[in-house]
Structure 1
């Protein structure tokens, strides 16, 4: 399953839980989710903006999204933590990507990412942005 699909499943589950009132965001979780959504939006912009960037910058922005998610995860528990954990897990392949040539020596298991990989990951992040916006709007 690709990143987009994993994130779509997570988002659908989160939105359904909020709608069914299984998941009732506490004010502190709502604030944290809003901050996470803003951080993701700051890191990854619209497709036309991202696609115009060099791969090195695109990878940097994607890694920033992982940092936003990890910091948010460290500050919460319960359903929001579970959702954020699932999002981090979905985006985990980003951690193995590199944008620079290998040169002599090893690469610590990293691999170059294709333009399609970047587009998929960026789409997944945008889906996370949208999901966080929707669950905090309830």
Structure 2
């Protein structure tokens, strides 16, 4: 399943749970989600900014976004942890990407993503950031 589809499905489920008051954020969890949203926004900028960056920087930013989700996950439990865990899982393809050539053929299985994959991953991070901000304000 494509990364953006996974994030959209995840966000849809999260928004339903919040709307139906199945997932009620504690003040501490709300603070963690707010920080994660800010960290994601700082990691991945607007599409025109990201596209202008070298591939190495784009990949670094995507990995920073994944790290922000993982750090937030380490501080929560219950619905918040389940949501962040699923978000981290959706973003894991970036862990198998490389921006540098593997001239010797030894890249530990890392592959060079296409420009479309970079764009999709960045859009998935933006969607996740927007959802976190919305959930935190609910």
TM-score class, shorter: over 0.9
Structure 1 length normalisation: TM-score?
A: 0.98
2:45 counterpart residue number: 45
Distance in 2 (CA, whole Å) between partners of 1:10 and 1:104 is 39
Distance in 1 (CA, whole Å) between partners of 2:104 and 2:37 is 39
- Structure 2: runs of 5 or more not aligned: none
The DSSP-based 3-state class of the residue aligned with 1:132 is helix
The alignment covers a number of residue pairs equal to 138
1:32 counterpart residue number: 32
Deviations 1:39-85 (A, max 9, x none): 00000011000000000000000000111011110111010100000
Distance in 2 (CA, whole Å) between partners of 1:59 and 1:134 is 26
1:54 counterpart residue number: 54
Distance in 2 (CA, whole Å) between partners of 1:105 and 1:41 is 35
1:121 counterpart residue number: 121
The DSSP-based 3-state class of the residue aligned with 1:123 is helix
Distance in 1 (CA, whole Å) between partners of 2:94 and 2:110 is 10
- Structure 1: runs of 5 or more not aligned: none
Deviation of 1:104 (Å): 1.4
The DSSP-based 3-state class of the residue aligned with 1:111 is coil
Deviation of 1:105 (Å): 4.3
1:88 counterpart residue number: 88
Q: Work out whether 1:112 is the aligned partner of 2:122.
A: no
Distance in 2 (CA, whole Å) between partners of 1:55 and 1:113 is 10
Distance in 1 (CA, whole Å) between partners of 2:87 and 2:129 is 11
Deviation of 1:23 (Å): 0.5
